[in-house]
Amino acid sequence: MFKKRWMDLSVGSFFILGLSVFFFLSSITGQVSDEKLGAYQLRARFDDVSGLVNRALVRISGVTVGQVNDIVIVPDTYSAMVTLTIFDPKLKIPADSTIGVYTEGILGSKYLSIMPGFSDTFLRKGDEILRTNSAVVLENLFSKLLLFFGDK
């Protein structure tokens, strides 16, 4: 009888443990629907984002503050519209900030970096960052160099 009860207890606590671990793991990992914690989205239009991918990091002064959600083409101008999420709702970004595509190291992955401006008005959810610097494509750089040396 005692053994039976002990078995019931252990099986029951096994399930309770499983359930609590389930919730623990869901609390420490990210959710696909990442609207939690009041993260907000901004947009930016680039001439060239080559190498930038979804989930690429967004940084300010080298600190990761967000990630890229979506990259689509704007049909009228053939420029790239990037939607990015800023994780911290308390982090306010001045309206005259500049955003650029940079590369980690020489051959590393691409990321976005925001250089904050000095404006007193801040970007709100869904706003567009107007000042953008496109990605530097090495091939373009080389071809310019070749032209430059070719002239001589």
Partner 1 sequence: MFNLLRVLEQFLRFIGCLLLALQYGRLLPRQMISQLHIAGVSSLVLICISALFIGLVFAFQMYIVLEGFGSLPQLSQVVAFGLFRELSPVVTGLLVAGRVGSTLAAELGQMKQAEQIDSLLMWGINSYAYLMWPRLLALLIVTPILVLAFDAISIYAAWFYAVTLHGMESQIFWTPLVFGSIYFEVDVLYGMYKAVFFGGWIGVMSLYQGAFVERGSSGIAKASTQAVVLSSAGVLMLDYVLSQFLY
Task: Give the residue with the Cβ less far from partner 1, 106 or 147.
Answer: 106
CB of 83 to partner 1, least distance (A): 16
Sequence-ordered list of residues with C-beta below 8 angstroms from that of 55, at least 6 positions apart, any chain: 67, 68
> Measured between alpha carbons, how far apart are the two ends of the chain, in Å?
98
Q: How deeply is 68 buried, as exposed, middle or buried, from its count of CB atoms within 10 A (0-12, 13-18, 19+)?
A: buried
Closest approach, Cβ 39 to partner 1, in A, equals 9
CB of 108 to partner 1, least distance (A): 9
Give the residue with the Cβ less far from partner 1, 87 or 122. Answer: 87
Query: Can you tell me the distance from the alpha carbon of 123 to that of 109, in angstroms, rounded to the nearest whole number?
Result: 27
Binding site for partner 1 (CB under 8 A): 7-8, 10-11, 14-15, 17-18, 21-22, 24-26, 28-32, 55, 64, 67, 87
